[in-house]
Amino acid sequence: MKQSDIEGFFATLRAANPLPVTELEYSSVFELLAAVLLSAQATDVGVNKATRRLFPVANTPQKIIDLGLEGLENYIKTIGLYRSKARHLMQTCEILVRQHQGVVPRTREALEALPGVGRKTANVVLNVAFGEATMAVDTHLFRLGNRTGLAPGKTPYEVEMKLLKRIPAQYLVDAHHWLILHGRYVCQARKPLCWQCAVSQYCGFKPQTTADQASAR
Protein backbone atom coordinates (compact mmCIF):
# COMPACT_ATOMS: atom_id res chain seq x y z
CA MET A 1 0.00 0.00 0.00
CA LYS A 2 1.43 3.36 -1.07
CA GLN A 3 1.71 6.22 1.43
CA SER A 4 -0.89 8.20 -0.53
CA ASP A 5 -3.24 5.23 -0.23
CA ILE A 6 -2.63 5.06 3.53
CA GLU A 7 -3.68 8.70 3.87
CA GLY A 8 -6.89 8.04 1.93
CA PHE A 9 -7.52 4.80 3.82
CA PHE A 10 -7.52 6.48 7.25
CA ALA A 11 -9.16 9.71 6.11
CA THR A 12 -12.09 7.59 4.90
CA LEU A 13 -12.30 5.61 8.14
CA ARG A 14 -12.19 8.82 10.19
CA ALA A 15 -14.90 10.47 8.09
CA ALA A 16 -17.19 7.49 8.74
CA ASN A 17 -16.38 7.29 12.47
CA PRO A 18 -14.74 10.48 13.83
CA LEU A 19 -14.71 9.38 17.48
CA PRO A 20 -14.14 5.63 17.63
CA VAL A 21 -14.28 3.87 20.99
CA THR A 22 -13.70 0.39 22.33
CA GLU A 23 -16.71 -1.91 22.49
CA LEU A 24 -15.68 -3.08 25.96
CA GLU A 25 -17.80 -1.45 28.65
CA TYR A 26 -15.96 0.33 31.47
CA SER A 27 -16.22 3.43 33.64
CA SER A 28 -12.71 3.63 35.13
CA VAL A 29 -9.14 2.79 34.17
CA PHE A 30 -9.21 -0.25 36.45
CA GLU A 31 -12.45 -1.52 34.88
CA LEU A 32 -10.83 -1.15 31.45
CA LEU A 33 -7.75 -3.08 32.56
CA ALA A 34 -9.88 -5.85 34.04
CA ALA A 35 -12.09 -6.07 30.95
CA VAL A 36 -9.14 -6.24 28.57
CA LEU A 37 -7.45 -8.88 30.72
CA LEU A 38 -10.65 -10.94 30.59
CA SER A 39 -11.05 -10.47 26.83
CA ALA A 40 -8.17 -12.70 25.70
CA GLN A 41 -9.60 -15.38 23.39
CA ALA A 42 -13.11 -14.09 24.16
CA THR A 43 -15.52 -11.68 22.49
CA ASP A 44 -16.21 -8.19 23.77
CA VAL A 45 -19.89 -9.15 23.92
CA GLY A 46 -19.13 -12.08 26.21
CA VAL A 47 -16.86 -10.02 28.44
CA ASN A 48 -19.45 -7.25 28.75
CA LYS A 49 -22.09 -9.76 29.87
CA ALA A 50 -19.80 -10.89 32.68
CA THR A 51 -18.59 -7.46 33.76
CA ARG A 52 -22.16 -6.15 33.91
CA ARG A 53 -22.57 -8.58 36.79
CA LEU A 54 -19.11 -8.15 38.29
CA PHE A 55 -18.48 -4.39 38.25
CA PRO A 56 -21.59 -3.30 40.21
CA VAL A 57 -20.31 -5.52 43.03
CA ALA A 58 -16.53 -5.24 42.66
CA ASN A 59 -14.96 -2.54 40.51
CA THR A 60 -11.74 -1.75 42.40
CA PRO A 61 -8.69 -3.91 43.13
CA GLN A 62 -9.55 -4.18 46.82
CA LYS A 63 -13.16 -5.16 46.14
CA ILE A 64 -11.99 -7.88 43.76
CA ILE A 65 -9.63 -9.17 46.44
CA ASP A 66 -12.48 -9.13 48.95
CA LEU A 67 -14.55 -11.40 46.67
CA GLY A 68 -11.96 -14.14 46.94
CA LEU A 69 -10.90 -16.32 44.02
CA GLU A 70 -13.96 -18.55 44.06
CA GLY A 71 -16.27 -15.56 44.31
CA LEU A 72 -14.57 -13.92 41.34
CA GLU A 73 -14.78 -17.11 39.31
CA ASN A 74 -18.54 -17.24 39.86
CA TYR A 75 -18.94 -13.84 38.20
CA ILE A 76 -16.81 -14.58 35.14
CA LYS A 77 -17.37 -18.31 34.57
CA THR A 78 -19.24 -17.63 31.32
CA ILE A 79 -15.93 -16.42 29.79
CA GLY A 80 -13.50 -18.90 28.26
CA LEU A 81 -10.44 -19.78 30.37
CA TYR A 82 -12.16 -18.14 33.34
CA ARG A 83 -10.15 -19.98 36.00
CA SER A 84 -6.77 -18.79 34.78
CA LYS A 85 -8.15 -15.31 34.08
CA ALA A 86 -9.60 -15.11 37.58
CA ARG A 87 -6.23 -16.09 39.03
CA HIS A 88 -4.38 -13.50 36.94
CA LEU A 89 -6.88 -10.77 37.77
CA MET A 90 -6.68 -11.57 41.47
CA GLN A 91 -2.87 -11.50 41.39
CA THR A 92 -2.96 -8.23 39.44
CA CYS A 93 -5.26 -6.68 42.03
CA GLU A 94 -2.95 -7.72 44.83
CA ILE A 95 0.01 -6.07 43.08
CA LEU A 96 -2.00 -2.92 42.37
CA VAL A 97 -2.93 -2.60 46.04
CA ARG A 98 0.50 -3.53 47.38
CA GLN A 99 2.72 -1.61 44.95
CA HIS A 100 0.55 1.08 43.32
CA GLN A 101 -1.94 2.15 46.02
CA GLY A 102 -4.76 0.58 44.01
CA VAL A 103 -4.07 2.78 40.96
CA VAL A 104 -3.39 1.41 37.48
CA PRO A 105 0.15 2.46 36.47
CA ARG A 106 0.75 4.55 33.36
CA THR A 107 3.97 2.98 32.12
CA ARG A 108 4.35 0.00 29.81
CA GLU A 109 6.95 -1.59 32.08
CA ALA A 110 4.68 -1.50 35.13
CA LEU A 111 1.64 -2.70 33.18
CA GLU A 112 3.47 -5.63 31.61
CA ALA A 113 4.71 -6.65 35.07
CA LEU A 114 1.09 -7.44 36.04
CA PRO A 115 -0.01 -11.11 35.73
CA GLY A 116 -1.98 -11.77 32.57
CA VAL A 117 -1.01 -8.42 31.05
CA GLY A 118 1.08 -8.74 27.90
CA ARG A 119 2.12 -6.20 25.32
CA LYS A 120 -1.27 -6.15 23.59
CA THR A 121 -3.22 -5.54 26.81
CA ALA A 122 -0.76 -2.85 27.90
CA ASN A 123 -1.13 -1.16 24.51
CA VAL A 124 -4.92 -1.08 24.86
CA VAL A 125 -4.75 0.51 28.31
CA LEU A 126 -2.10 3.03 27.24
CA ASN A 127 -4.16 3.99 24.19
CA VAL A 128 -7.72 3.95 25.49
CA ALA A 129 -7.17 5.16 29.05
CA PHE A 130 -4.17 7.44 28.61
CA GLY A 131 -4.43 8.55 24.97
CA GLU A 132 -1.04 7.25 23.87
CA ALA A 133 -0.43 6.40 20.21
CA THR A 134 0.00 2.67 20.66
CA MET A 135 -1.11 -0.19 18.44
CA ALA A 136 -2.57 -3.29 20.09
CA VAL A 137 -2.14 -5.95 17.41
CA ASP A 138 -4.85 -8.55 17.86
CA THR A 139 -6.01 -11.03 15.21
CA HIS A 140 -7.91 -8.27 13.39
CA LEU A 141 -4.97 -5.87 13.15
CA PHE A 142 -2.59 -8.68 12.21
CA ARG A 143 -4.94 -9.78 9.42
CA LEU A 144 -5.54 -6.27 8.11
CA GLY A 145 -1.86 -5.35 8.22
CA ASN A 146 -1.06 -8.31 5.98
CA ARG A 147 -4.17 -8.54 3.80
CA THR A 148 -4.38 -4.87 2.85
CA GLY A 149 -0.63 -4.38 2.41
CA LEU A 150 -0.70 -1.67 5.08
CA ALA A 151 1.84 -3.35 7.36
CA PRO A 152 2.87 -6.86 6.28
CA GLY A 153 4.64 -8.88 8.93
CA LYS A 154 5.18 -12.41 10.21
CA THR A 155 4.66 -11.55 13.88
CA PRO A 156 2.31 -9.21 15.78
CA TYR A 157 5.31 -7.16 16.91
CA GLU A 158 6.54 -6.70 13.33
CA VAL A 159 3.07 -5.59 12.23
CA GLU A 160 2.85 -3.23 15.23
CA MET A 161 6.15 -1.55 14.41
CA LYS A 162 5.20 -1.11 10.75
CA LEU A 163 1.79 0.33 11.64
CA LEU A 164 3.39 2.87 13.96
CA LYS A 165 5.85 3.83 11.24
CA ARG A 166 3.44 4.03 8.30
CA ILE A 167 0.24 5.52 9.74
CA PRO A 168 0.25 9.35 9.55
CA ALA A 169 0.57 11.03 12.95
CA GLN A 170 -2.88 12.64 12.86
CA TYR A 171 -4.53 9.20 12.75
CA LEU A 172 -2.33 7.24 15.16
CA VAL A 173 -4.29 7.64 18.39
CA ASP A 174 -7.55 6.37 16.87
CA ALA A 175 -6.13 3.96 14.25
CA HIS A 176 -6.25 0.98 16.61
CA HIS A 177 -10.03 1.34 16.99
CA TRP A 178 -10.71 1.91 13.30
CA LEU A 179 -8.74 -1.18 12.32
CA ILE A 180 -10.35 -3.42 14.94
CA LEU A 181 -13.86 -2.35 13.97
CA HIS A 182 -13.08 -2.68 10.26
CA GLY A 183 -11.67 -6.17 10.80
CA ARG A 184 -14.57 -7.20 13.01
CA TYR A 185 -17.41 -6.08 10.78
CA VAL A 186 -16.09 -5.66 7.21
CA CYS A 187 -12.67 -7.18 6.53
CA GLN A 188 -13.62 -10.44 8.21
CA ALA A 189 -11.32 -13.43 8.42
CA ARG A 190 -13.10 -16.04 6.30
CA LYS A 191 -14.91 -13.81 3.84
CA PRO A 192 -14.05 -10.12 3.65
CA LEU A 193 -17.03 -8.01 2.62
CA CYS A 194 -15.13 -6.19 -0.11
CA TRP A 195 -18.30 -5.16 -1.98
CA GLN A 196 -19.36 -2.98 0.94
CA CYS A 197 -15.90 -1.79 1.98
CA ALA A 198 -15.45 1.98 1.99
CA VAL A 199 -11.67 1.71 1.68
CA SER A 200 -11.39 -1.03 -0.97
CA GLN A 201 -9.92 1.44 -3.50
CA TYR A 202 -6.86 1.83 -1.28
CA CYS A 203 -6.47 -1.84 -0.37
CA GLY A 204 -3.90 -4.21 -1.88
CA PHE A 205 -6.16 -7.24 -1.48
CA LYS A 206 -7.81 -8.52 -4.64
CA PRO A 207 -10.69 -10.90 -3.89
CA GLN A 208 -11.22 -13.84 -6.18
CA THR A 209 -14.13 -13.53 -8.58
CA THR A 210 -16.35 -16.47 -9.52
CA ALA A 211 -14.41 -16.73 -12.79
CA ASP A 212 -11.08 -16.79 -10.90
CA GLN A 213 -12.35 -19.56 -8.62
CA ALA A 214 -13.57 -21.61 -11.59
CA SER A 215 -10.27 -21.32 -13.45
CA ALA A 216 -8.36 -22.36 -10.35
CA ARG A 217 -10.18 -25.70 -10.18
Are residue 123 and residue 82 in the same domain, yes or no?
A: yes
55 found inside a domain: yes
Can you give the residue range of the structural domain that contains 12? 3-20+134-202
- Report the predicted TM-score, pTM, of the whole model to 2 decimal places: 0.88
Instruction: Enumerate the active-site residues.
Output: 120, 138
Report how far residue 38's alpha carbon sits from residue 80's, in angstroms, rounded to the nearest whole number.
Answer: 9
- Looking at the structure of the chain, the number of domains it has is 2
| Mean pLDDT by groups of 10 residues along the chain of 217 residues | 93 96 95 95 93 97 96 94 95 97 96 94 95 93 95 96 96 95 94 94 76 42
**Pair (48, 120) in one structural domain:** yes
How far, in Å, are 24, 144, 194 from residue 186 at the CA level? 19, 11, 7
* 208 lies in some domain: no
pLDDT at 217: 42
**pLDDT the model gives residue 184:** 92
Angle between helical axes of 82-100 and 61-76 (0-180°, round to 10): 180
Q: Are residues 38 and 121 in the same domain?
A: yes
d(C-alpha 45, C-alpha 35), whole Å: 11
Which CATH number covers residue 188?
A: 1.10.1670.10
Same domain, 117 and 158: no
Quote the pLDDT of residue 215.
43
Which of 128, 152, 182 is where one domain is finished? Answer: 128
CA proximity to 54, closest of 40, 41, 37? 37
Do 105 and 181 have their domain in common?
no
3-state SS track over the chain = CCHHHHHHHHHHHHHHCCCCCCCCCCCCHHHHHHHHHHCCCCCHHHHHHHHHHHCCCCCCHHHHHHHHHHHHHHHHCCCCCHHHHHHHHHHHHHHHHHHHCCCCCCCHHHHHCCCCCCHHHHHHHHHHCCCCCCCCCCHHHHHHHHHCCCCCCCCHHHHHHHHHHHCCHHHHHHHHHHHHHHHHHCCCCCCCCHHHCCCHHHCCCCCCCHHHHHHHC
Shared domain check, 109 and 37: yes
Q: What is the CATH number of the domain that holds 105?
A: 1.10.340.30
- Where is the domain boundary, 89, 105, 128? 128
Does any domain span residue 115?
Answer: yes
Instruction: Based on the fold, state whether residues 71 and 112 are members of the same structural domain.
Output: yes
- Last residue within a domain, chosen from 77, 108, 128: 128
Q: What is the pLDDT of residue 32?
A: 97
In this structure, is residue 12 part of a structural domain? Answer: yes
